[in-house]
Chains A and B, each alone.
Chain A
């Protein structure tokens, strides 16, 4: 099975809130001086792809979109984990594009890669959490789509997947080609690469394609969405003292909680 895994580079989501900043003029997130990592669930997607390859063979290509200068080094990790090659769509504006727009570019890149049976993405990015890349990609590639997949098993020609649901999970059979968005699961904790794979990853092919070379997708899937403002929510706490004797306080408390619909 030939699998393409889309990886997004994000500002370290583990940074404390205080390190999160937005440029007021442009509304873009400040990335400078902050560690850049592979978005959390994308690593789970990569692990799922590698496990499918371990079991059934095939090829795993990782695909990413962003400024090539900052990407390629950090993403060697994906090659060290076991991906066969990497395609970087060099796009200085990459980090600031919305999901739909990105999906359109990724779809063009995937068409250029050519052969694929399966495309995996993380179920949501650690920064924007739009959750649109997988469905839009599937639409653009005319492939089946399942989101929030926790486990995947190949069953000749099709896939049996487990989709997370509010309570429990769905078991879904999917035909190929398909686009799946992957959620984390104990079965897909990203593997630690062995040193020999880290060393070998230095010799694996990395293709850099300028974003300008990506033919625009037929029909603009991203149209109609525009970011108008980005703000950091201000969290405030308020403290209220209830007056009176204990019994009165208790009654007042019950009333307040009922008003707040907490009781």
Chain B
């Protein structure tokens, strides 16, 4: 006889019929719940997230099957992987039974039965049981700072998992004992249990009774599980893989486009002003707390927790259902404006979220409502916007020349009639802040030494509009963008190198939507290339210990972590050290999202904390690649009274070019 087993051993015909009825009911409840959610998602505005298929599927492989982001937290990632793969196997096993029994395709036999259906399933089930136990211990035994205890549904779900697994093993053990299954040893866990039963010399009638009882318990728990999916955290079983697939592939922080000729409402006042994907996101959240654990605003005592932004919005979505109940104003009634204004748009939350929830675009959409509809924002940010309108830059009190830094350097200027292959887009934070003039001069000298043909716009440059955009004034942003695109096109600019990652991000992602298409490079990318091509004679010693602070808009927003490090490694004699929070996990300097212009009064200052991180490495120099980061760190150094020196990588590169010693 080929190895197999009787599917419904010890279960009478009537029982099997009842089983199917109950299973149908459970699936129906589940389907109903999913449909209810689907109706609420449909309240959102359109967003296209289905194509391209290839990279999206690849992301599913990396982040679902291989647990990419989940493994960023080693312990949690490993036990999650155990229970994830355990349940995947057990679910596959259930499908095998279905095909074998209900479709009548006899696949559950022979070696396949032994290797897969018995041995593999048993071991994977054991892995899942251990994984669930670990999850319970971490959550309720050890206590994890990011996980909240006392969430009833979390406990319920975990015990439900454990209940299904344990009853499953017991049922298996009893069956093996009751049927004297010759293939029993292929299911090691069940076989072990059957051995105990044998040893206890339990009568066959008792075995049958116990088996029947536990079989029904196991089955009922499984049905509860299925029915409970759309009403609990279990929903992420389905939604999380979907959300990985639906993730934004480029420019994940960008809020939606607004066509001011057509739009009637600006920003998100209510849930219906968000996209369906935004609403979908809300249901995906597993309350794992990873986003809040990495948020610099939360860490420094600001009234913002990205997880709670998601959960509070979800609460509002539950309350208003498909839109029958009157919705509240999101920015104000649902989320405190102070929370929205505390976000630096640093993307740490989005980078950490294992299910790819998009916090930042939602926050910016709500800011848009506050700024463009209600006209309410923090005074100091308002001043920056007014300045932008009156002075073409957000720095009140700055001088009028944008080329003062270039005095004495032979820099080409397009308005003077010069022509060049590259435009160096200087950016307000560098042009109008004396500290960054040194960086600009260094950059220009390096580019010149490498023989690059570069010009600037001088006083015809204005703000890219990015601060307005991050603060929520998309209208003002677009006004600047259109004007700049016109200027750039007038001079036939094709290739741009920017000093500032914010300008870089804006040219790269926001201008193309408005018709401005350029080849855009960040200065560290250009410099890394020059280093690679050997176009710079790095003769001078740069002996120093250097740690690099990743600017959010270069790193997380644009995925460039290597170029600046590459430059630092090329400096003769330089030793580099990483901060504990670097690369994808870098901690914001505090200036992003327009917060450079915000009086940061609550809690600690983000830039002071970041300065501490740099100091903790013992480095003498904290290298940056963003004029805002430089200013913030300079301020942090002053406040902390430490000796570490913030320097742009361009400055460091130029020193070793000149052969200067530190």
Contact = CB atoms under 8 A, between A and B. Distances in A.
Contacts, number: 47
A34 interface: yes
A113 interface: no
B399 A18 contact: yes
A195 interface: yes
A74 interface: yes
Interface in A51-88: 74, 77
A35 interface: yes
Interface string A168-212: 000000000000000000000101111110110000000000000
Nearest to B387: A14
Contacts of A15: 397, 399-400
Interface in B363-399: 371-377, 379, 382, 385-387, 389-392, 396-399
A18 B392 CA distance: 19
A192 B377 CA distance: 9
A107 B117 CA distance: 97
A195 B266 contact: yes
B576 to A, nearest CB: 38
B397 A14 contact: yes
A102 to B, nearest CB: 22
Contact of B390 (A37, A195, A196): A37
Given A192-B377, A194-B373, A195-B373, A12 B382 contact: no
A181 B372 CA distance: 31
A43 B595 CA distance: 26
B489 interface: no
B475 A12 contact: no
B400 A77 contact: no
A194 B400 contact: no
Interface string A30-56: 000111110000000000000000000
Contact of A35 (B266, B372, B376, B390): B390
B374 A19 contact: no
A164 B52 CA distance: 67
B459 interface: yes
A153 to B, nearest CB: 24
A16 interface: yes
A77 B375 CA distance: 14
Contacts of A36: 390
Contacts of A14: 387, 396-397
A191 B375 contact: yes
A35 B475 contact: no
Contacts of A199: 260
A33 B458 CA distance: 13
A194 B399 contact: no
> Interface majority SS on A: helix, strand, loop or mixed?
loop
Contacts of A18: 399
A80 to B, nearest CB: 10
A19 B404 CA distance: 12
Which residue, B374, B385, B389, B475, has most C-beta atoms of chain A within 10 A?
Answer: B389
B459 A192 contact: no
A147 B371 CA distance: 34
A16 B390 contact: no
A16 B397 contact: yes
A12 B400 CA distance: 10
A8 to B, nearest CB: 14
A21 to B, nearest CB: 10
Contacts of A192: 371, 375-377, 382, 385-386
A194 B267 CA distance: 12
A189 B379 CA distance: 10
Nearest to A189: B379
A193 B375 contact: yes
Given A12-B391, A37-B390, A77-B389, A195 B372 contact: yes
Interface string A1-29: 00000000000101110110000000000
Contacts of A12: 390-391
Contacts of B372: 194-195
Contact of A198 (B374, B376, B396, B475): B475
Contacts of A34: 400
Contacts of B459: 33
Interface in B311-342: none
Which residue, B375, B397, B475, has most C-beta atoms of chain A within 10 A?
Answer: B375
Contacts of A195: 266, 372-373, 475
Contacts of B400: 15, 19, 33-35
Contacts of B391: 12, 35, 37
17 contacts: A12-B390, A12-B391, A14-B396, A16-B397, A33-B400, A35-B391, A35-B392, A36-B390, A37-B391, A77-B389, A189-B379, A191-B375, A192-B371, A192-B382, A192-B386, A193-B375, A196-B373
Given A19-B399, A74-B390, A192-B375, 5 more contacts: A33-B459, A34-B400, A189-B379, A192-B382, A192-B385
Interface of A: 12, 14-16, 18-19, 33-37, 74, 77, 189, 191-196, 198-199
Q: Which 7 A-B pairs have the closest CB atoms?
A: A195-B372, A192-B375, A35-B391, A194-B375, A14-B397, A37-B390, A14-B396
